[in-house]
Amino acid sequence: MKFVIFAGTPGSGKTSIIKYIVQELKENFKLFFAKFDCLQTSDDERIKQEYKIPTVKKLAGELCPDHYTALEIPKIVKENQDKDVIILETAGLCLRCSPYIKEGLGINVLDITSGDPSRYGPILTQADVVAVSKGDLISQAEREIFRAKILKVNPKAKIVEVNGLTGEGAIDVAEFIKLSSHIENKKLRLKHSMPSAVCGYCYGNKIIDEKEVHQRYLAGKELKKLIPNLNCGKCGFKSCNEFIRAVLDKKVKKEQCPFIKQKVVTIKKL
C-alpha cells in the first residue's frame, strides 16, 4: 500500500489537482481518498461521485486539524488494507504543523502567489514533492525565482508545476506516487513533531498510535503539574514544554528543573 498526503494552504488548489491525479491512477490502482477539514466540506462526495472511488470525510471541529489527521491515519490504514493507494488531503491551515509521515509520500501544493517560500514551515520544508500551482499568473522569470527559493528551504524537493484547471502536471505527480515506497505494516512516524500544546503529539510523540499518544499525554500532564510553567529557562530549555519533551525522551532527568528538585528535596526531608 502507498500512502500519499497532500498538504497546502486553503485555496492553493489541492483538491483540483487531486481530481486529475485520481483520474490518472484509478484505472490501474485501487484508490481511497480521505478529505480532512475543520467544519465542513463536500469535496469527498464530489470525488466519489465523479470517479467512483471510496472516500471519507473527517472533520476536526475544535481540534487542531493536523493533530486530528495524525491520530486518524492508523484507522484509515487499518480499514483499507485492500487498497493500493490511499490519498489524504489535509485541511492545510497551519504552516507549522505537518502530518507527513516518513514511510509515505508528502506533497505540498504551493500557491505561487502566496508569498516567499521562506515563510513556510514543515508543510513545505518536509515535503517530498512540491506541486507549484497558479504559475500561469506570473512570468517565466518569476517562476524560476520562486523555484530557486523553494530549493533554498527544501533542497531535496522534487518540483512540479501544476494547474488545477487544465490538469497540467498531474501525470508527473502521479508518476512520483507510482514510484513511492509501500508503507507495509510498519509503525508510522511523523517527519516532524507537532507544536507544543496539550496532547501527546504536543509533548513530542512521533509514533502514530492512539495508545502511545495517550500514554505520552498522561506522562506529560503529570510533569506539567510539577513545574511552575514559567518558561524561566533555568533548566536549560527555552520553555517548560520543551523541557517536558526532553524528560519524556529520557534526554534529561526531571530534577534538572530547580523547582522539581526543590520539591524532591523537601519530600525527602519529610
pTM, entire model: 0.77
Q: Quick one: pLDDT at residue 4?
A: 97
Model confidence pLDDT, tens digit, residues 51-110: 999 999 999 876 678 888 988 899 999 999 999 999 999 998 887 888 899 999 999 999
pLDDT at site 78: 92
Percent of the chain residues topping a pLDDT of 90: 64
Report residue 201 as a C-alpha cell: 503529539
Q: Which three cell numbers stand for residue 21?
A: 491525479
Domain with CATH 3.40.50.300 in the chain: 2-179
* Greater pLDDT, 230 or 190: 190
Residue ranges in the chain assigned as alpha helix (H) = 14-25, 43-51, 65-79, 122-125, 140-153, 170-179, 210-226, 240-248, 258-269
Fold (topology level) of 2-179: Rossmann fold (3.40.50)
- C-alpha 155/C-alpha 72 separation (Å) is 30
Assigned C-alpha cell, 86: 490511499
95 to each of 11, 34, 50, 131, how far by Cα in Å? 14, 20, 31, 16
Residue ranges, CATH 1.10.15, the chain: 210-269
CATH of domain 210-269: 1.10.15
Measured CA to CA, the distance from residue 87 to residue 259 in angstroms comes to 47
Most confident of 91-100, 141-150, 217-226: 141-150
Mean of the pLDDT values across residues 181-196? 82
User: Regarding beta strands 105-111 and 129-133, do their DSSP bridges make them parallel or antiparallel, or are they unpaired?
Assistant: parallel
Burial class of residue 195, CB neighbours in 10 A (0-12, 13-18, 19+): middle
Contact between 219 and 203 (Cβ < 8 Å): yes
Q: Which pLDDT belongs to residue 185?
A: 66
